[in-house]
Amino acid sequence: MRVRIWDRPTRLFHWLLVALVPALWWTAEEELVEIHMILGRTMLGLVLFRLLWGLIGGSTARFASFVRGPGAVLSYLRGKAGHVVGHNPLGALSVVALLLALAVQVGLGLFASDEDGLYSGPLAHFVGSEASETLTDRHETMFDVLLVLIGLHVAAIVYYTWFKRQDLVGPMVTGSGEAPAGAAPMKPAPPWRFALAASLAAAIAFGIGVVL
């Protein structure tokens, strides 16, 4: 039977992320620094939103619903875990790793600066030019790490689609997917929680250089 799996905010976050990562790479490669910085703040807002949504969002978006210990991951790998609506224990590791990598990447960008010193992140003045240059190098290196994690994530989607005959992309588009009879559908969060999380994330992301 078909059940609701993902709420709209979670799906919106996912697809905005898919669009933003290549846009950030392209603006960096083309040295479109001003646009890159705006997109970087947008990415910061998205990451902050997802962290907040992981606490107050729909049931399948909450970290408490899918982040499990090593025992649950091993049980899933051995095929002993039951069907899960949302992220399975192994997929949860991918989600957490990607969020952490994005958080580190965007955090480093806050302290980065360009080679000419004409543009700098909103917090670069706290660390000085030499430290900012080092963090800029780390910012570039971290993107390679992020690409590896994204590659593994895509490979897992392909594996589940072709070998396990489990569609992971469709539910992220429509919000619904197939589940065994009796499976509990996603419980959405009230709209005011989305408004709260989005407002807080946007205020921090675009106000961080103003108040600090």
Q: Tell me: the pLDDT tens digits for 80-122?
A: 766 678 888 888 999 999 999 999 999 999 999 887 777 889 9
* Residue bearing tokens 């790793």: 97
Structural domain of 207: 2-211
Query: Number of structural domains, the chain?
Result: 1
User: Looking at the predicted structure, is the pLDDT value of residue 31 above 80?
Assistant: yes
The residue with greater pLDDT, 125 or 200, is: 200
Q: Tell me: the pLDDT tens digits for 176-201?
A: 988 777 778 899 999 999 999 999 99
Output the domain CATH number for residue 193: 1.20.950
pLDDT of 89: 84
Confidence of residue 151 (pLDDT cuts 50, 70, 90): very high
pLDDT of 212: 53
Measuring CA to CA, how many Å separate 196 from each of 191, 199, 200?
9, 5, 6
Q: CB 90: neighbour CB atoms within 10 A? A: 15
- Identify which of 118, 109, 64 has the alpha carbon closest to the alpha carbon of residue 86: 64
pLDDT of 82: 65
Alpha helix segments (H runs only) across the chain: 8-29, 33-56, 63-66, 70-77, 89-109, 129-162, 169-174, 191-211
Global pTM?
Answer: 0.93
